[in-house]
Amino acid sequence: MESRNTSRRTFLSLSMGLPLGAALAACGSSGPTRPGGASGGGTKATYWYLSTQPQEGIRTAAMERFNKANPNGQIAGTTFQNDAYKTKIKTAIGAGQAPTIIWGWGGGGLRSYVQAGQVEDLTSWFGQNAAVKDRLFPSSFGAATVDGKIYAMPCETVQPIVLYYNKKLFEQIGAQPPQSWGDIMDLVPKFNAKGIAPFSLGGQSRWTNMMWLEFLFDRIGGSEVFQAVFDGQKDAWSNPAAIDALTKMQALIKANGFIKGFSSITADSNADQALLYTGKAAMMLHGGWTYGSMSTDGGDFVSGGSLGYMNFPPVDGGKGDPSDTVGNPGQYMSISSKASPEQKEIAKKFFASVLSDEEVKAWVGIGSVPIVKGADSAFGSSKDAEWLKFVYGIASNAKTFAQSWDQALSPTAAEVLLDNIAKLFQLSISPQQFTSNMNAVIGK
């Protein structure tokens, strides 16, 4: 009996000991080397980016074009899934193992890298290379700027949040798309009476709810209401416009404005979009990226012209500019301050090549608007020309293009914000409780 026990234990220790030894050996040999450090043929810069298609193909193609043109200073790319990337890049930067080129969303995340001294200040580089800066949308630089200095190169596409609607359902009840907040509240009982949900919402994802507040705050109080929060002014959430927006939000929820069960629907599964194109919900406030997925998943919904879209309507008596929008003003690439000088040079060279004519064409080809001035000249031949013109119009005419709140704020404040937004939409806290909870994390 005893010998049987010990032999089992022996086996266990061995089986556990072996991988440990292997892990230790691996640490010893590969741990301290910086990824992309001088290896083989000359210095290489490293670049991590997202693997979602069709975007991944465009990113890879841009990198390969650069490598072909610069045989002496190449870039080695690695792709990651969206959510895995968010954790991975944070850990890598914290451990001093960041890639040369750090792909990201700008805003609060970038600010935390800047505060930790992990990314290069690019202000003077943009000063010397004004041409690189001047051909991009000026609005794309807001989220790349921390305390007046530019730390990231804006790239890729602009993704405003728009109000989508199902034209067929509006015909069915004989109504027009809303021109004001009052219209929205009037439409709610009309759709509910026909058994159609007025709005689709993937509430479990929380940032989906946030898009509503972003627009209501802007339309009621103007862009300065959230700007005050962003700037860290004391009690900025207590602005009367904020209370008004939160109250209006809860009034819409209480009037059954959103589909039944919205707080158990996630945006990741695209179920919220499915509700719109299957005719279960009449309208949806969502990011510009959903146009592409609705045209692939929604059968002839988009190609048959049933999808309508518009900017969020004004709120009666509100101070906000109706041309304002929110969303992602671009994507961002920063340079790790831990990279070698050669790697930094390669990265800067790569930045100068960003959004070449080929790349612009590729983005337009998948229904996205690149952040380049005059990109609209490439729209003509696209089957999505009307949509592209609409997005280009919103992005280039917006008086303020605000960044999504959860991206603009620090990760700490963003988590508290999303948590409180979920509770606000559950009607488990009042607007006053929301503002006092949020005031507590201002500037954190």
Partner 1 sequence: MTALPTSHGRGAPQAGTRGARNGSLAWLTVPALLFFVGFGVVPLIGVLALSFTTWDGIGDIRFSGFDSWRAVLTDPGLPHALWVTFLIMALSWLVQTPASILLGVFLAGAQRYRALLSVLYFIPLLLSSAAIAITYKALLDPNFGLGAGLKIGLLTQDWLGRPVLAVSVVVFVVSWQFIPFHSLIYQGGVRQIPRSMYEAAELDGAGRIRKFFSITLPQLKYTMITSSTLVVVGSLTFFDLIFVLTAGGPGDATRVLALDMYKRGFQANLMGPASAIALILVFVGLALSLLLRRLGGGKSDTSQLEGA
List contacts with partner 1 (CB under 8 A).
6, 9-10, 12-14, 16-18, 20-21, 87, 90-91, 93-94, 112-113, 115-118, 203-204, 206, 259-266, 269, 271, 274-275, 280, 410-412, 414-416, 419, 422-423, 426, 428
CA angle, residues 400, 401, 405, in degrees to nearest 5:
115
Q: φ, ψ for residue 278 (rounded to 5)?
A: -90, 5
The answer to whether the peptide bond before residue 314 is cis (omega within 30 degrees of 0) is no
Q: Quick check: helix, strand or coil at residue 136?
A: strand
Identify the residue whose tokens are 């937004």. Answer: 421
- Give Cβ neighbours of residue 243 (< 8 Å, ≥ 6 apart): 431, 432, 435
Beta carbon nearer to partner 1, 21 or 240:
21
Q: Tell me the closest approach of the beta carbon of residue 410 to partner 1, in angstroms.
A: 8
- The order of strands in the sheet holding 101-104 is 74-80, 44-50, 101-104, 331-335, 153-155
Check: CB of residue 421 under 8 Å from CB of residue 209. Answer: yes
Residue with Cβ nearer partner 1 (181 or 237) = 237
Q: Which amino acid is at 433?
A: Q
187's CB contacts (< 8 A; 6+ apart) are 175, 178, 198, 282, 283
Neighbouring-strand partners of residue 102: 48, 334
Residue (105 or 125) nearer to partner 1, CB: 105
Residue 214 CB, shortest distance to partner 1, in Å, is 20
Residue 14 or 130: the one with the smaller Cβ distance to partner 1 is 14
- Residue 33 burial (CB count, 10 A): 11
The CB-of-27 to partner 1 minimum distance in angstroms stands at 11
DSSP state of 96: T
Question: Based on CB atoms, which residue is closest to partner 1, 59 or 111?
Answer: 111
**Residue closer to partner 1 (CB basis): 16 or 38:** 16
Nearest-approach distance from CB 46 to partner 1, in angstroms: 18
In the block, residue with structure tokens 């693997």: 51
**Closest distance between partner 1 and the C-beta of residue 428, in Å?**
5
* Three-class SS state of 226: helix
- 8 A C-beta contact, residue 319 and residue 220: yes
- The letter for the amino acid at 71 is P
| CB of 136 or CB of 282, closer to partner 1 | 282
CB 200 → partner 1: shortest distance, Å? 9
Q: How far is the CB of 12 from partner 1 (least distance, A)?
A: 7
Residue closer to partner 1 (CB basis): 86 or 133: 86
CA–CA separation, 382 and 142 (whole Å): 29
Q: Least separation, in Å, of the C-beta of 426 and partner 1? A: 4
